[in-house]
């Protein structure tokens, strides 16, 4: 039995090390996603290492024992950061530093007060885990529409698979809290068994990472398959599967009389350009005619007039023009090899079919063809 456990621990360590190296060397996938996932993978190397040292009766270095005993403190913040990355919410260095400092401060306070307050360590670490689980849950609920879009239209994207990492972190939190409860209840625990469970979980996480971040092409349709998928049987070249709330709203607000003078319209257009540059509302899939009018402080009717009369476009085409430009920048990125699905999701398109339709309408080629052409031109200039 011990030999099988040694084999399990060694496999977990080797797979984790291989995954970590690939996350650093391979530029596939969003950078921050790779960074947070890399931290997660490194953290999961500790339990199999400690378990292996226990089996060979070696003395476990104090550093590894300390890290293993403090992992529970970091599962919560990591869960919160991954949830934000999954939903395309920014994780700024300052924000991350604030959370790290807060957790470190609470850990130090707990160590100082643990001897003076009965069950102080258990209460505080449980409170920290519960607080971050609640914060991550609130983030998911607050951005439920984006989460639904991810699950309905982007099931092959890197961001979709982060949900499995979140679920794993939640299970780890529950397991560690259960261990703490058992220890305070004076229940005997076999830590070798617990490390074995953590080892199996580490293999599960590494498998997800390798098959999503490292090899996203396995989950990608090629251009020919995508075009065939979105072709209709009525002779149309493309079929858009899109939530048409914005278009129906615009139809109901057809301009019946003009409210905006040319001077006011020019001022609003300049303000609108600043809003699009700074707030980037086109990256929000739920942005609609009403919400954009609210950003400008005008009525929906006036905003519809601004688009239809003064910009000679409609809301759908105008919003997708910004999303198209955002997608071009991601395709032109020579340092990170985003998958086409990830680019469509990050650019704010409601689904991949719409992304291909807009791309073909603007350039007459597919995103993959554009990236190949751009890369060839970039290499010639270099």
- Give pLDDT tens digits along the chain (382 positions): 677 778 888 888 888 888 887 777 776 667 777 777 777 788 778 878 877 777 777 677 777 777 777 888 888 898 999 899 899 898 888 999 999 999 999 888 888 877 666 677 888 889 999 999 999 999 999 999 889 989 988 888 888 888 888 888 888 888 888 888 887 777 776 766 777 777 777 787 777 777 666 555 555 544 444 444 444 433 333 333 333 444 444 444 444 456 788 888 899 999 999 999 999 999 887 889 999 999 999 999 999 999 999 999 999 999 999 999 999 999 998 777 788 889 999 999 988 888 999 998 999 998 989 988 888 888 887 6
User: What integer pLDDT is reported at residue 29 of this predicted model?
Assistant: 67
List C-alpha distances in Å: 72 to 8, 67, 109, 205: 23, 10, 16, 17
Q: What is the pTM of this model?
A: 0.77
Token reading at 31: 């950078």
Q: Give pLDDT tens digits for 37-49.
A: 777 788 778 878 8
Token reading at 173: 């939190």
Backbone phi and psi for residue 299, each to the nearest 5 degrees, phi listed first: -80, 165
User: What integer pLDDT is reported at residue 249 of this predicted model?
Assistant: 45
Residues 6+ apart with CB under 8 A from 131: 76
Q: Give pLDDT tens digits for 90-118.
A: 888 899 999 999 999 988 888 887 766 66
What does DSSP assign to residue 312? -
Q: Percentage of residues in the chain with pLDDT exceeding 70?
A: 83
Q: What number of other Cβ atoms are within 10 A of residue 209's Cβ?
A: 28
List C-alpha distances in Å: 348 to 150, 258, 288, 351: 11, 31, 12, 9
Strand partners, 28: 337
User: What integer pLDDT is reported at residue 380 of this predicted model?
Assistant: 83
SS3 at position 127: helix
Of the candidates 205, 167, 186, the one whose C-alpha atom is nearest the C-alpha of residue 44 is 205
Tokens 């995954």 correspond to: 19
């Amino acid at each position: 039995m011990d030999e099988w456990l040694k084999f399990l621990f060694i496999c977990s360590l080797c797979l984790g090390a291989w995954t970590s190296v690939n996350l650093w060397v391979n530029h596939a996938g969003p950078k921050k996603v790779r960074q947070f996932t890399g931290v997660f993978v490194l953290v999961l190397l500790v339990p199999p290492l400690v378990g292996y040292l226990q089996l060979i009766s070696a003395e476990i270095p104090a550093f590894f024992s300390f890290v293993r005993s403090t992992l529970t403190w970091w599962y919560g913040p990591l869960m919160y950061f991954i949830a934000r990355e999954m939903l395309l919410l920014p994780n700024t260095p300052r924000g991350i530093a604030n959370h790290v400092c807060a957790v470190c401060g609470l850990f130090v306070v707990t160590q100082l007060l643990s001897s003076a307050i009965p069950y102080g360590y258990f209460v505080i670490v449980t409170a920290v885990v519960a607080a971050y689980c609640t914060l991550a849950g609130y983030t998911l609920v607050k951005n439920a529409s984006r989460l639904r879009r991810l699950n309905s239209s982007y099931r092959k994207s890197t961001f979709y698979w982060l949900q499995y990492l979140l679920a794993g972190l939640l299970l780890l939190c529950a397991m560690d809290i259960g261990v703490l409860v058992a220890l305070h209840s004076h229940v005997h625990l076999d830590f070798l068994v617990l490390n074995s469970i953590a080892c199996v979980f580490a293999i599960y996480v590494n498998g997800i990472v390798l098959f999503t971040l490292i090899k996203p092409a396995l989950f990608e349709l090629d251009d020919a398959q995508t075009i065939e998928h979105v072709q209709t049987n009525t002779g149309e070249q493309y079929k858009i599967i899109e939530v048409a709330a914005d278009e129906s709203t615009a139809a109901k607000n057809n301009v019946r009389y003009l409210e905006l003078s040319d001077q006011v319209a020019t001022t609003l257009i300049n303000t609108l350009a600043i809003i699009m540059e700074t707030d980037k509302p086109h990256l929000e899939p739920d942005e609609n005619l009403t919400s954009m009018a609210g950003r400008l402080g005008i009525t929906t009717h006036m905003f519809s007039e601004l688009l239809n009369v003064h910009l000679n476009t409609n809301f759908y085409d105008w919003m997708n023009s910004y999303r198209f430009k955002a997608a071009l920048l991601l395709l032109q990125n020579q340092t990170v090899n985003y998958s086409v699905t990830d680019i469509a999701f990050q650019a704010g398109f409601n689904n991949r079919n719409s992304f291909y339709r807009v791309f073909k309408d603007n350039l007459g080629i597919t995103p993959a063809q554009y990236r190949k052409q751009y890369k060839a031109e970039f290499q010639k200039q270099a």
